[in-house]
């Protein structure tokens, strides 16, 4: 099994100490920079150090898991969850493709992928039947992570798709024809339940719903769940809500824990034990074209996405998650994970 070859590398040569050879008075005696001074090298090294599990990979699924990240409510953390889970899984040695299905192109931006109007994009795949392989780009900072970008063209696709043959299953067909080996495909949906989201639900087996821990969190979820049922009934019998992730959790507020309790009562086992804290680092990372995993690997946001990815990977191979084994004690609803309270 391929393990964390890409993250174990830097660990074999940690930051070297000061040079021992004699130096002239004109030579700086500063600690030299790390030998592996690439962004990914540094990021991976820090991440692995922070997790304290050098070289430990995650189990990879036998078949590609296609996970649809959906919630028609805007701004609940769909894109943030997609890119950070994808980066976490890739840093653990998996091969991961992010499909950006939102005309805003936020996932493409966050992954540092060029998506101006002329770039071959998921629009060409859906509307022009271009092979997926011709639009997929490697993500610069993370080995094993790839992105099919969205451009502004996609804004017209909801309408253009209506008159096309097999309009609901065009993404599914494109994915089936894609021959590169992948462990995970994560699809970032727009905040609507139109044909783009239906295409994602026909293409995937699993739905991951990010829920923001705030008032009205559960409003509108009924509609989303009904759509999942409809797609399962008519177009994709394998589709199911596999995962609920609580996002922007602020353990200092009673409201957040009330919402979390309500969601856990309602959904039970689908809810990940790990919730994602509200974190400045998470919100800053996209403006640098990075995930929080490379932007600040030791931050609470990065650690919690790593932990959520671990839960998802373990569930995929039928291993139950033991929260007491969480890296650095990242626990569900842990107030100490909220920045500023640590």
Ligand X SMILES: Nc1ncnc2c1ncn2[C@@H]1O[C@H](COP(=O)(O)OP(=O)(O)OP(=O)(O)O)[C@@H](O)[C@H]1O
Task: Using CB under 6 A, list all residues that contact ligand X.
Answer: 74-80, 102, 106, 191, 247-248, 276, 278-279, 282-283, 286, 301
Instruction: Give 137 or 291: the residue with its C-beta nearer to ligand X.
Output: 291
| 79 near Mg ion (CB under 5 A) | yes
Tell me: does residue 78 bind Mg ion (CB under 5 A): yes
Say which entry of Mg ion, ligand X, none residue 76 contacts (CB below 5 to 8 A, set by partner kind). ligand X
Residue 283 interacts with, from Mg ion, ligand X, none (CB under 5-8 Å by kind) = ligand X
Check residue 236 for interaction with Mg ion (CB under 5 A).
no
Residue 283 C-beta: closest distance to ligand X, Å = 4
- Per-residue mark of binding to Mg ion, 282-301 (x: CB under 5 A): --------------------
**74-110 in b/e burial notation, b at 16+ Cβ within 10 A?**
eebbbbbbbbbbbbbbbbbbbbbbbbbbbbbbbbbbb
Compute φ and ψ for 69, nearest 5 degrees: -95, 105
- The rounded distance, in Å, linking the Cα atoms of 296 and 314 is 25
Smallest distance, Å, CB 47 to Mg ion? Answer: 24
Cα-based distances in Å from 71 to 77, 238, 265, 342: 9, 19, 19, 31
Q: Is 106 in the site for Mg ion (CB under 5 A)?
A: yes
Question: Which of the 8 DSSP states describes residue 277?
Answer: B
Identify any residues that bridge with 184 across adjacent strands, giving them in sequence order: 65, 96
Binding residues for Mg ion, total number by CB under 5 A: 3
Spatial distance between the Cα atoms of 314 and 321, rounded to a whole number of angstroms = 7
Tokens 């609803």, residue?
333
Residues 6+ apart with CB under 8 A from 4: 48, 55, 56, 57, 91, 92, 93
Of the pair 6, 247, the CB lying nearest ligand X is at 247
Measured from the CB of residue 277, what is the shortest distance to ligand X in angstroms?
Answer: 6
Cα–Cα distance, 254 to 260 (Å, whole number): 10
User: Closer CB to Mg ion, residue 106 or residue 242?
Assistant: 106
Give 80 or 137: the residue with its C-beta nearer to ligand X: 80
Minimum distance from residue 197 beta carbon to Mg ion (Å)? 12
Q: Which residues bind Mg ion (CB under 5 A)?
A: 78-79, 106
């Amino acid at each position: 099994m391929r393990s964390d070859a890409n993250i174990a590398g830097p660990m074999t040569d940690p930051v070297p100490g000061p040079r021992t050879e004699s130096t002239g008075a004109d030579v700086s005696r500063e600690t030299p920079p790390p030998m592996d001074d690439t962004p990914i090298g540094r990021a991976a090294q820090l991440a692995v150090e922070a997790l304290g599990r050098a070289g430990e990979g995650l189990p990879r699924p036998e078949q590609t898991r296609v996970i649809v990240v959906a919630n028609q409510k805007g701004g609940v953390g769909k894109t943030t969850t997609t890119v950070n889970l994808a980066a976490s899984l890739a840093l653990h040695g998996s091969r991961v493709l992010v499909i950006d299905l939102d005309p805003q192109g936020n996932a493409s931006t966050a992954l540092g992928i060029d998506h101006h109007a002329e770039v071959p994009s998921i629009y060409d795949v859906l509307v022009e039947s271009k092979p997926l392989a011709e639009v997929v780009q490697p993500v610069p900072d993370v080995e094993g992570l790839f992105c099919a970008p969205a451009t502004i063209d996609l804004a017209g696709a909801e309408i253009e798709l209506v008159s096309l043959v097999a309009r609901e299953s065009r993404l599914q067909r494109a994915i089936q024809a894609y021959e590169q080996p992948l462990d995970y495909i994560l699809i970032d949906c727009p905040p609507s339940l139109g044909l783009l989201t239906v295409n994602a639900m026909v293409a995937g087996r699993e739905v991951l719903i990010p829920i923001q821990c705030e008032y009205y969190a559960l409003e509108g979820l009924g509609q989303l769940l009904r759509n999942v049922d409809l797609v399962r009934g008519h177009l994709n019998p394998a589709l199911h809500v596999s995962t609920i992730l609580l996002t922007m959790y602020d353990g200092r507020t009673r409201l957040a824990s009330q919402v979390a309790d309500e969601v856990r009562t309602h959904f039970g086992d689908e809810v990940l034990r790990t919730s994602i804290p509200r974190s400045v680092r998470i919100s800053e990372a996209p403006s640098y074209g990075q995930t929080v995993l490379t932007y600040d690997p030791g931050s609470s946001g990065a650690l919690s996405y790593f932990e959520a990815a671990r839960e998802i990977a373990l569930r995929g191979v039928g291993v139950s998650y033991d929260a007491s084994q969480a890296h650095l004690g990242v626990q569900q609803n842990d107030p100490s994970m909220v920045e500023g309270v640590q």
